[in-house]
Amino acid sequence: MTTTPRDPRICVGCSTQFMPNTVRHIYCTRQCSNAHYAAIHREIKRKWRANWVAAHPLEVRMSNRESKRKRSVREAEYKRQYLATHPIDPLKRAARILLNNKVATGEIVRPTACIRCFAVGRVQGHHPDYSKPLEVLWLCKECHIEEHWPLQTAISDMLEVVEGKS
């Protein structure tokens, strides 16, 4: 027969003080007990996995190769389906390739600040006219999005004001 102890205890799971109902209670609540057991189980599983990986390097390497192969097949299929419905404009592609090559060779230097908001950081090249591939606006990501989708940006700005985020 278990009796009610008279002294408070410290919960094993969350380290808070509680009054146990029986002598065998070591957790303050059922949720605390479940969380503590789950944490212990995660640690045991992590250690077991680390030991198994160390003992089976060939199987791990083969499994990783197979996963990578399956992933590349999935990605190739996705790209094929995407390109079937979203054909690449040859003029856009040529302009991008030419600009990237000029930047790579150093003939064109990528600036460090946006020409619109003067934010310093990584900038993206925006082609207002693809027939002039070397005439580029260097914009930060936010300004580039604004350049392509001004209406969506305006709507999201209005929503932020309505929701009180700014």
Rounded Cα distance between 38 and 29, Å, is: 14
- Asked whether residue 94 falls in the same domain as residue 157, the answer is yes
- Asked whether residue 15 falls in the same domain as residue 45, the answer is yes
- Asked whether residue 65 falls in the same domain as residue 43, the answer is no
Tens-digit pLDDT profile for residues 53-106: 999 999 999 999 999 999 999 999 999 999 899 888 999 999 999 999 999 999
Cβ neighbours of 75 (radius 10 Å)? 10
- SS3 label, residue 137: strand
pTM for this model (two decimals) = 0.48
Rounded Cα distance between 112 and 118, Å, is: 9
State whether the Cα torsion 124-130-135-137 is positive or negative: negative
- Asked whether residue 137 falls in the same domain as residue 107, the answer is yes
- Asked whether residue 11 falls in the same domain as residue 68, the answer is no
- Asked whether residue 104 falls in the same domain as residue 151, the answer is yes
Quick one: pLDDT at residue 156? 74
Quick one: pLDDT at residue 2? 53
- Asked whether residue 64 falls in the same domain as residue 96, the answer is no
* Total structural domains within the chain: 3
Tens-digit pLDDT profile for residues 8-40: 899 988 889 998 888 888 888 888 888 888 888
- Asked whether residue 69 falls in the same domain as residue 94, the answer is no
State whether the Cα torsion 32-34-35-41 is positive or negative: positive
- Asked whether residue 47 falls in the same domain as residue 75, the answer is no
- Asked whether residue 61 falls in the same domain as residue 3, the answer is no
Please report, for residues 77, 88, 93, 95, the alpha-carbon distance to residue 85 in angstroms, rounded to integers and kept in the order given: 13, 10, 17, 22
Rounded Cα distance between 65 and 59, Å, is: 10
Q: Let me know: does 42 contact 33? Beta carbons within 8 Å.
A: no
Last residue of a domain, one of 45, 70, 87: 87
- Asked whether residue 73 falls in the same domain as residue 105, the answer is no
Query: β-strand 124-126 against 137-139: which pairing, if any?
Result: antiparallel
Range of the domain at 7: 1-54
**Bridge partners for 113 per DSSP:** 120
Last residue of a domain, one of 87, 107, 130: 87
